[in-house]
Amino acid sequence: MKKNIALALIFTVLVLGGCGLQSDVTVLKLGHTLDTKHSVHIAMAYMAKRVDEISEGKLQIEVYPGGVLGSERESLELLQLGSLDFTKVSAAAMEGFVEEYKVFGLPYIFTSKEHSYKVLDGPIGDNMLAKGEEFWLRGLCFYDAGARSFYASRPIHTPADLSGLKIRVMQSITAVEMIRAMGGSATPISWGELYTALQSGVVDGAENNPPSFYLSHHYEVSRYYTLNEHTMIPDVMIMSTHAWNKLTEQERIWLQQAVDESVVVQREEWQKSEDESLRSLAEEGVEIIRPDKEPFIKAVEGVYDIYRANPRVYNLIKEIRAADVPAEIEETIAETSELE
């Protein structure tokens, strides 16, 4: 009941907020849950500025940060109703609509940041963004959310060091299987309860990217951070198909240009935030461990078997792995094809 009331109030605010606008100006509303200092918000603010410039004021975006229009889940529901135009969610939040999004939670599906960009910026990424349209959710771009790594009350150098440790994970079958494969005990706990759980020993550790580890102050109770970088789950900019279908072709071109430019800005800002977070963690006395990743990669190879009987997901896994080809090898393949 409370949820329905909240959604009704948000809907009323959005509708009333759209009244009295000039007929020759299209105004879109974007709601997300992040702080204004976050790289994704910075990128979205840039996108709003650029679309205004490109369209000479004919297309405008109003950005509402900090969850004032609802949680990730509530924002997605508002998009489906057509009451909100954009939001940002973790790719993991899209699993409930498009099962192929589960591949992003697989450990080491991406071998490097460059590999992830190649996939997300290419045909595979474009195909993924389009898959939510039947649920009124059109993907516009992927933003960098870094790599998740382990932090705990004792050092982790190899998967064997996870033995006997209770590690907090998100509510995800893949995440649970990943921790089990490495020898740890997976414990799903909400993000809001995690600090207390680490402090009291309910869990021995968790896993997340450097900015999240630092800004959450979890380093105060977890003094070891192992940069094994087991998953790279991107964020996704989602637009309501109700809003997209109302745009003219010219407005869509303006919008996509601003979105594409914002991706470049966000990745630069994300890298800055990662570097600053790692530097701050070291200053706080956290021991930062850079392990050999190969033992971790080998330990989780069996996790992929979960999806072997699911052709849609497993074929996508093979496509992503095949995309991990160095540029110079691709050029050689292309040249050979031309000769043939």
Q: Which domains does the chain have, with CATH numbers?
A: 2-97+132-144+233-277 (3.40.190.170), 148-231+292-324 (3.40.190.170)
Q: Measured between alpha carbons, how far is 241 from 98 in angstroms, rounded to an integer?
A: 16
Provide the token pair at 35. Answer: 């702080």
Interval 286-313 mean pLDDT:
95
The answer to whether 235 and 88 are in contact (CB under 8 A) is yes
pLDDT for residue 7 is more than 80: no
- Say what percent of the chain tops pLDDT 90: 80
Q: Measured between alpha carbons, how far is 230 from 214 in angstroms, rounded to an integer?
A: 18
The answer to whether 312 and 99 are in contact (CB under 8 A) is yes
Q: What is the dihedral of CA 160, 161, 164, 169, to 10 degrees?
A: -100
Q: Measured between alpha carbons, how far is 202 from 282 in angstroms, rounded to an integer?
A: 25
pLDDT at position 23 is: 63
The DSSP output letter for 312 is H
Q: pLDDT for 141-170, tens place per residue?
A: 999 999 999 999 999 999 999 999 999 998
pLDDT at position 285 is: 98
Q: How big is the CA angle at 278 (ends 272 and 284), to the nearest 5 degrees?
A: 135
For residue 210, the tally of other CB atoms under 10 A from its CB is 24
Q: Measured between alpha carbons, how far is 79 from 30 in angstroms, rounded to an integer?
A: 10
- Say what percent of the chain tops pLDDT 70: 89
Interval 206-222 mean pLDDT:
95
Per the model's pLDDT, the better-predicted residue between 213 and 19 turns out to be 213
Q: Which of 211, 260, 168 is nearest to 34 (CA)?
A: 211
Q: pLDDT for 164-211, tens place per residue?
A: 999 999 888 889 999 999 999 999 998 889 999 999 999 999 999 999
Provide the token pair at 137. Answer: 């959710």
Rounded to 5 degrees, what are φ and ψ at 275? -60, -45
pLDDT at position 173 is: 85
pLDDT at position 73 is: 87
Kindly give, in sequence order, each residue whose CB lies less than 8 Å from that of residue 184, ignoring residues fewer than 6 positions away: 162, 163, 164, 165, 166, 167
pLDDT at position 172 is: 83
Q: Measured between alpha carbons, how far is 326 from 66 in angstroms, rounded to an integer?
A: 40
pLDDT at position 238 is: 97
pLDDT at position 35 is: 86
pLDDT category at 96 given cuts 50, 70, 90 is: confident
pLDDT category at 46 given cuts 50, 70, 90 is: very high
pLDDT for residue 118 is more than 50: yes
What's the pTM? 0.84
Establish how many alpha carbons lie within 13 A of residue 54's alpha carbon, considering only the half-sphere containing its beta carbon.
Answer: 21
Q: Measured between alpha carbons, how far is 234 from 175 in angstroms, rounded to an integer?
A: 15
H helices present in the chain, as ranges:
2-17, 39-54, 72-81, 113-120, 123-130, 173-182, 194-200, 210-215, 241-246, 249-283, 294-299, 311-322, 327-339
The answer to whether 169 and 176 are in contact (CB under 8 A) is yes
Residue with tokens 């759209």: 18
pLDDT at position 6 is: 53
Q: Measured between alpha carbons, how far is 267 from 271 in angstroms, rounded to an integer?
A: 6
